[in-house]
Amino acid sequence: MTEMPTTMSATSASAAANTSSALLRLTNIESAYGPVKAIRGVSLEVKKGQIVTLLGSNGAGKTTLLKTISGIMDPVRGTVEFAKQDITGLEASDLVKKGLSHVPEGREVFPMLTVYENLMMGAYTRNDRDAIARDLEQSYRYFPILKERENQAAGLLSGGQQQMLAIARALLADPQMILMDEPSLGLSPKLTKEIFQIIRMINQDSGRSILLVEQNASIALQTADFGYIMENGRIVMQDTCERLMQKDDIQEFYLGMKQEGVRAERRWKKKKTWR
């Protein structure tokens, strides 16, 4: 009889510790485009200061999940909690105010506005001028090319520079957490490496958490602390990146280490169970 309360309190203490350390928590999220269900019950969490990566093939639902978190889409079911608040169904602009920024797939900078004007769009929910000026300088330190091009139209920037602008614009909201959708898309390996170095710095300098969607599994697993693998709208595997990199399935299908090309991909598509 005396052991019972002790056991229970230990369990609830650890549950409380988990709750307090998760900055973002999704519970059984389902999202759909009309009748088409794209997310089929996803639960995941990102702790404060962590980089978490979300990997998966084309159409797995990664972008849809990020849109559901950032308030662009409402989930059909499930809850999104951020900084211990239920934020399910809130407007994107309210979430930016709460410290959640989204760097969308394909950058989506405003091509007719200057680089500076694009950056200021990132700060539109703020009125703390001194802090905005400080964050602008910090963004220019990360991406000096943006300072050089500050008065040029964003549409004239290269793809890599537009990606830098999209990340810097998210930083101008002074977020606690940044959702990044395929920052390496269309970039050269060299530029990808540079962008990922800066992503790491952004995380380390100010402890901002990052949820990183990437097609380049190798660089994502080397950058992040924890990873989720998504297929057909579901999480099929989750672990520390260190352990994920050791798994046969990951090496074969995401890191291309077995060099089986098309045959491997076909087998993976038929595969039902994950080790």
Ligand X SMILES: Nc1ncnc2c1ncn2[C@@H]1O[C@H](COP(=O)(O)OP(=O)(O)OP(=O)(O)O)[C@@H](O)[C@H]1O
Specify whether the CB–CB gap between 134 and 128 falls below 8 A: no
Looking at the DSSP bridge assignments, the partners of residue 39 are: 31
117 binds, among ligand X, Mg ion, none (CB under 5 to 8 A by kind): none
Residue 54 CB, shortest distance to ligand X, in Å, is 9
Contact 69, 211 (CB under 8 A): yes
Does residue 56 touch ligand X according to CB under 6 A? yes
Name which of 57 and 238 has its Cβ closer to Mg ion. 57
Among 50, 53, 63, 118, binds Mg ion (CB under 5 A): 63
**Contact status: 216 vs Mg ion (CB under 5 A):** no
Burial of 190 (0-12, 13-18, 19+ CB in 10 A): exposed
Position 33 contacts ligand X (CB under 6 A): yes
Q: Is residue 60 near ligand X by the rule CB under 6 A? A: yes
- Sole window of 103-111, 172-180, 218-226, 250-258 interacting with Mg ion (rule: CB under 5 A): 103-111
Q: What are the φ and ψ backbone dihedral angles of 49, each rounded to 5 degrees? A: 80, 0
Residue 163's binding partner out of Mg ion, ligand X, none, with CB under 5 to 8 Å set by partner kind: none
Q: Does 61 bind ligand X (CB under 6 A)?
A: yes
- The single-letter code of the amino acid at 272 is K
Q: Which of 5, 6, 35, 36 binds ligand X (CB under 6 A)?
A: 36
Q: Are the C-beta atoms of 177 and 100 separated by less than 8 Å?
A: yes
> Least CB distance from residue 244 to Mg ion, whole Å?
20
Q: Which amino acid is at 80?
A: V
Whether the CB-CB separation of 125 and 97 falls below 8 Å is answered with yes
Q: Token match 């009309």: residue? A: 34
* Residues 6 or more apart in contact with residue 62 via CB below 8 angstroms: 54, 55, 56, 181, 213, 230
DSSP strand pairing (209-213 vs 177-181): parallel
Q: Does 25 bind ligand X (CB under 6 A)?
A: no
Options 11-19, 21-29, 55-63, 258-266: segment touching ligand X (CB under 6 A): 55-63
Pick the closer one to ligand X by CB: 105 or 117.
Answer: 105
Structure token digits, residue 145: 């090319």
Task: Considering only the stretches 30-38, 39-47, 98-106, 202-210, report the one whose residues sit in contact with Mg ion under the rule CB under 5 A.
Answer: 98-106
Residues that bind ligand X (CB under 6 A): 33, 36, 38, 56, 58-64, 105
Binding site for Mg ion (CB under 5 A): 62-63, 105
